[in-house]
Amino acid sequence: MPLVQAHQTLGCLLLLGDEPQGEEFDPTDRQYAELLAAWFARVLHDRNQRDTLLAQAYTDGLTGLLNRRAAQLRLDEALQSMRRGGQSFSLALCDLDHFKLVNDEYGHAAGDAVLRQMASTLRQGVPRGGWVARWGGEEFLIMLPGLDTQAASAAMDVLRQRVAQRPFLVSERSLHITLSIGIGGLQGPQDEIVRVLTEADDSLYEAKRQGRNRIITMR
């Protein structure tokens, strides 16, 4: 018996009898089954809607990456895990160099296309166990579990070079985009996420000041 809600088939309810001769269900049994199927369909539909809304609340609509809110929740979870004996981690704050020029010269649709392509490149290049989020505007945050700032810097330099070498296709044009990256690292169980983010942001500012397309770590 199909489970249908809002003109969408969500599943199937299979009814099995215990009569050895395989007698058909009587009308009362069938009516009960139809009510049960309708209830299951409504529950599944509501659950799917809830899951969809939850995903939308924690996903950046343009890039499909985690949004800032989701990233902050994950960082809090990672910190609590570290305090219970889990892995330490570093953070990389990445900013597209001269991105305003892309928007000004080619338009915001072109800028959006660059951001989507950048998101795909970063997602593919994140080390195992890590994740990437759109932190805001043209900034991306990458979480690097199990790496101190020096190891994180080395890992991110591979990704920085990959970005610098790939073309970004926009309106039949090939653009070359570079990243400035700042690294911040957790210093111990008593450390706080806000301090690590500040360290990464200060490092990013220094990377910009020194000429862009580079990685800076303060320690």
Helix extents (H) in 10-67: 27-57
Residue 2 and residue 37 in contact, taking contact as beta carbons nearer than 8 Å: yes
Q: What residues have CB less than 8 Å from 81, skipping those under 6 apart?
A: 87
Strand partners, 142: 92, 132
- Is 23 known to be catalytic? no
Distance between alpha carbon 1 and the CA centroid of its chain, in Å? Answer: 38
Backbone φ and ψ for 3, nearest 5 degrees, come out as: -100, 105
From 138, 172, 192, 206, the catalytic residue: 138
The residues assigned a catalytic role are 138
